Amino acid sequence: MKEKARTILFWFILIQPFLDLYWFYHGTLATILPFTLPTIIRILVVGVLICLFFSQKQSWKKLTTKKWLLVYLVLLTIYSALHLIHVRNFTSVNPTNYGYSSSGELFYLIRMVLPLIVLFLTTELDFGEKQLRQVIEGVSGLFSGTIVVSNLFVISLKSYETGTISANIFAWVFNPNIGYSHMASKGFFNFTNMISAVLFMLVPLMVYYLFTNFNWLTITLNVVQALAMIEIGTKVAAIGLLGGIFISLVLFIFHKYVIKDVQKGGRPFLVAGLIMLGSLAILPFGPAIQRYNYEIYLAKQSDHDLSSEKRELAAGLKKYPTGKKREDFLRAFIKHNYQAYALNPKFVFHSYPYQYDPEFWLKIINQPGQVRMENRYLEKAMLNQVVKTNNNRLDKYFGISYTRENNIFNLERDFSAQIYSLGFIGMILFVGPYLATILYGAYKWLRFKYARTYLVSSLLASSCFILLAAFSSGNVIDFLTASLILAFIQGNLLIQVRKPKQKYL
């Protein structure tokens, strides 16, 4: 049974890129069932894995010896019940209550538990290093290969906006005016930030395999992943590519000359260096730099002469200092001038509609242009206003619910996002295990010589990279494709930092 469970989990992680295809979340496939098909498949597979694992008496016996795990499960159960009770009643200015759904919230809690179960099962099923390499290279190849090939044939979905790209990587050099939104490619996948974070996470492991399993396949996979990270066009992917390779090379040098557990490395080091130099040559023509320059331009434009709008606003507020007429004036003013103030229409009309709280948007338009252009500032400002309106001190501990936060806007900063949706207690219980695994692995690495290997260092770097990306760009931890792959990697980290024993190869 253990071998069967290990095989199912192996293929389950390997097919995660297929479960992130765009069409599963948009169009007919997204609406044929109450919840998305990939999530249902993941729940069913994890359920099968649990049944297989616990079909053996020794698994139950082992579970009863892990008192810390039993305590954690009890705390998780109690918290989940209190969270669902707490978020049911909510005071808001929006008559839709931000689309809250008890079933949707329960489903979210189940989703958040799935990767934690995979982390536990991966550790207990004792994956070998060969199996780990096959999964990592397979996931990298599926994500990166799809992005690169679809970019080449100009059939890739845009990383930003909707539709397909207008030009491939070869056109970038000859036509610098294409525009970043028509260049950036995400293949046929759904969440751009999530893919960027996963590829960033895979960099140290792919470089590790370049040094430890040097052949044409690993060279090709590393080159293709580098191209994919340039083509996807996000800051996380661009900076993650260069920073990830650099840190990975530092790790290699450290292990070769300090730890001395690596023997060779001349040709792989040259290949990694050439990939980095090639990336530096291509990036200035790529969508990430184009987008950065466009954001600078927009920031300057947002501070254009607003004297006419300011005079109109001042006159209206003087004429209507309080009451319903003041609110009516502000609604009309914001509706007709939000573009002049460079406000994101999604925020003004959908996330936190101006009709229900025009005074909030008055405070926003009085901010400097650079502040109004900062999406994360506005996202937090809207959520803070929602929390302030509800005026319940328990929100700090139990959150306002994921469904409400998601219907307002996904805060592009994980950890903070989970504090809003789940509260401090929920964030610690659902997200804390990923941080705890890194700290435990780092402790083992420092404390025991047997754990101080090049692979363990690469697994630690990989885990740190994705959590850094999650904090930087958001939309990572709440999405199962990323969190399940992270859980698998961290499960293998825990396997590696155990006392030496025979591994399955």
The reported pLDDT for the residue numbered 196 is 96
Q: How confident is the model at residue 302 (pLDDT cuts 50, 70, 90)?
A: low
Q: What is the pLDDT of residues 121-135, one digit of tens each?
A: 999 998 999 999 999
Partners of 189 in the beta sheet?
21
Q: Annotate 78-138 with DSSP letters as a single string.
A: HHHHHHHHHHHS---SSTTGGG--HHHHHHHHHHHHHHHHHHHHHHHTT--HHHHHHHHHH
Q: How confident is the model at residue 57 (pLDDT cuts 50, 70, 90)?
A: confident
Task: For residues 10-39, give the mean pLDDT.
Answer: 88
Q: How confident is the model at residue 504 (pLDDT cuts 50, 70, 90)?
A: very low
Task: For residues 3-22, give the mean pLDDT.
Answer: 95
Residue with tokens 């969440």: 191
The reported pLDDT for the residue numbered 303 is 59
Give CA–CA dist 278/294, Å, rounded.
24
What are phi and psi for residue 65, nearest 5 degrees? -80, -15
Written as six digits, the tokens of 281 are 């040559």
The reported pLDDT for the residue numbered 474 is 84
What are phi and psi for residue 164, nearest 5 degrees? -105, 160
Residue 94 has pLDDT above 70, yes or no: yes
Mean pLDDT of the chain: 91
Q: What is the pLDDT of residues 332-355, one digit of tens each?
A: 999 998 888 888 899 999 999 999
Give CA–CA dist 102/84, Å, rounded.
7
Partners of 21 in the beta sheet?
189
- Give me the percent of the chain exceeding a pLDDT of 70: 96
Angle, nearest 10°, between helix axes 416-430 and 102-124? Answer: 50
The reported pLDDT for the residue numbered 503 is 45
Q: Which has more pLDDT, 480 or 297? A: 480
Cα Rg, the chain, nearest whole Å:
25
Give CA–CA dist 179/242, Å, rounded.
23
Give CA–CA dist 335/351, Å, rounded.
15
Give CA–CA dist 480/407, Å, rounded.
19
The reported pLDDT for the residue numbered 369 is 78
Task: For residues 390-411, give the mean pLDDT.
Answer: 93
CB atoms within 10 A of CB 449: 9
Give CA–CA dist 140/325, Å, rounded.
58
CA angle 225, 231, 232 (to 5 degrees): 90
Give CA–CA dist 490/77, Å, rounded.
23
Read off the DSSP letter of residue 349: I
Give CA–CA dist 25/84, Å, rounded.
25
Q: How confident is the model at residue 55 (pLDDT cuts 50, 70, 90)?
A: confident
Task: For residues 307-326, give the mean pLDDT.
Answer: 88
The reported pLDDT for the residue numbered 168 is 93
Give CA–CA dist 469/407, Å, rounded.
23
Q: How confident is the model at residue 501 (pLDDT cuts 50, 70, 90)?
A: low
Residue 505 has pLDDT above 60, yes or no: no
Name the most confidently modeled range: 60-74, 279-293, 384-398: 384-398
Give CA–CA dist 223/432, Å, rounded.
34
The reported pLDDT for the residue numbered 299 is 67
Residue 136 has pLDDT above 70, yes or no: yes
Q: Are 181 and 445 in contact (CB under 8 A)?
A: no
Residue 311 has pLDDT above 80, yes or no: yes
Q: What is the pLDDT of residues 188-210, one digit of tens each?
A: 999 999 999 999 999 999 999 99
The reported pLDDT for the residue numbered 391 is 93
Q: What is the pLDDT of residues 216-248, one digit of tens each?
A: 999 999 999 999 999 999 999 999 999 999 999
Nearest of 212, 249, 247, 258 to residue 449 by alpha carbon: 258
Q: Are 231 and 269 in contact (CB under 8 A)?
A: no
The reported pLDDT for the residue numbered 304 is 64
Q: Are 479 and 469 in contact (CB under 8 A)?
A: no
Residue 58 has pLDDT above 90, yes or no: no
